[in-house]
Structure 1
Amino acid sequence: MSEVIEITVYRLDELSETARDRARAWYREGGFDDDWYDAVYEDFQRVAEILGLNLKTRTVRLMGGGTQQKPCIWFRGFWSQGDGACFDTFYAYRKGAPRRIREYAPQDSELHRIADALQAIQRRNFYQLRAEASHRGHYYHEYCMAISAERDSPSWQGMTADAEDTMIEALRDLARWLYRQLEREYDYLSSDDVVDETIIANCYTFTEAGQRFG
């Protein structure tokens, strides 16, 4: 036999502080949009293009049955020692990269440093260096990128002794930079103020104890 049960539900700002913390925890655990990092990925793709990286892509199936090409970027975070970010890419010299990256991100000294390092090693090798990075293993951090470099010289001239190590470190530094951007975005989106705004905007309701109701 069915019965009607009445229950009082509350908006976030009507809850006690303890119940409000529980409501925030619910949102952080499952309320995040799957694409919360899209803006960071878009920014990284622009940075990569400026620096001379041609990110590899993979085919992703869409819910409607179609497919879409997505950049080969991966990350895991943000709580374990092995967390990080990595990407698959081809790299070649891009003229004016140090100037262009400063125009795009004038306050980001780390990107400036990476662009300068790539420019310097390219100059010592007559701008003929190329590199490829591919993900390997089951983790996602800068050391999960297998990186190789070569010199595309018409006279078969070899790379300078420091060329490969410099390029490997620059690409790994870029992966570290990407991870910091993702972590910063996640910290912002999961802050109390932003979580509160999102919960209120979506009109979520809760029990008196802070459990999600509707």
Structure 2
Amino acid sequence: MPEVICTTVYQFPELSDAAKDKARSWYRELDPHDDWWDAVYEDFEQVCEILGIRLKTTPVRLMGGGTRQKPCIWFSGFWSQGDGASFEGYLSHAKGATARIRAYAPQDATLHSIADRLQAVQRRNFYQLAAEISHRGRYYHEYTMSVDVTRDSPTWQPPTEDAEETVVEAIRDLARWLYRQLQVEYDHLTSDETIEEGIIANEYTFTETGRRFG
């Protein structure tokens, strides 16, 4: 014979503290929504454009059968020692970058420092420096990028002695900056406050112990 079993279910705010912990753990295991990093990538693309970095792109297949060009930006994180972010692109002098980056990110001292260092080394090289940034290996962090620095001098002048080290460190600092932005965004999306907002917005219900119902 069929049986009818009645279960009392609760909205998240009605749960005990222990049950809320269990409910949050369940929701957190769903992971942040797909492509949660898109906004961070878009911000990074704007920063690169201001600093004079043209990101390389790679084709990705769309569900409809076509393709689109995706910037060559990667990361892994956020728990292992080798985690980080890297990217590929071409660097050249960007006129007015120091002022533009301050207008774009007024409070970000790291970006200001990167722009200032790139501007200073370009000045010492008569704004003729260029660099190709490439990724190597199967890991993603600032040391998996190779940076080939050259000088486009009509009289074949070589780069100043400090040019390569200055550009390489600035590029690596930019990769570190990107990784920190990604980590901040991930921590926000997986915080208790954001998790609770998601649970309540989706009107999930739970048993008294915090087990997802339905």
TM-score range, shorter chain: over 0.9
Give 5+ residue unaligned stretches, structure 2.
none
Over the matched positions of the two proteins, sequence identity in percent amounts to 67
* In structure 2, distance between residues paired with 1:62 and 1:108: 35
Give 5+ residue unaligned stretches, structure 1.
none
TM-score normalized by the length of structure 1: 0.94
Quickly say closer, same or farther: Cα 1:23–1:84, change in 2 above 3 A: same
2:54 counterpart residue number: 54
The answer to whether the aligner puts 1:12 opposite 2:16 as a matched pair is: no
The answer to whether the aligner puts 1:168 opposite 2:168 as a matched pair is: yes
- Letter matched to residue 180 of structure 1: R
Q: How far did 1:66 drift?
A: 2.4
- Map residues 31-180 of structure 1 onto 2, 5 A cutoff: 31-180=31-180
2:202 counterpart residue number: 202
* In structure 2, distance between residues paired with 1:11 and 1:59: 44
TM-score normalized by the length of structure 2: 0.94
1:21 counterpart residue number: 21
Moved more, 157-166 or 29-38: 29-38
Task: Count how many residue pairs are aligned between Structure 1 and Structure 2.
Answer: 214
Q: How far did 1:138 drift?
A: 1.5
Matched position secondary structure for 1:78: coil
Matched position secondary structure for 1:49: helix
Moved more, 125-134 or 11-20: 11-20
- Letter matched to residue 86 of structure 1: S
Matched position secondary structure for 1:30: coil
Quickly say closer, same or farther: Cα 1:64–1:203, change in 2 above 3 A: farther
- Letter matched to residue 112 of structure 2: H
2:181 counterpart residue number: 181
- Letter matched to residue 78 of structure 2: F
Q: How far did 1:27 drift?
A: 2.1
- Letter matched to residue 133 of structure 2: A
**C-alpha distance after superposition, 1:37-91 (max 9, x if no partner):** 1111111100000000001111112223222211111111111111111111111
**C-alpha distance after superposition, 1:172-208 (max 9, x if no partner):** 0000001111111111121111111111111222333
Q: How far did 1:31 drift?
A: 3.8
Q: How far did 1:167 drift?
A: 0.4
Matched position secondary structure for 1:131: strand
Quickly say closer, same or farther: Cα 1:18–1:73, change in 2 above 3 A: same
Q: Would you identify which runs of 4 or more consecutive aligned residues in structure 1 move more than 6 Å?
A: none
**RMSD across aligned C-alpha pairs, in angstroms?**
1.6
Matched position secondary structure for 2:126: coil
* In structure 2, distance between residues paired with 1:208 and 1:58: 49
Q: How far did 1:157 drift?
A: 1.0
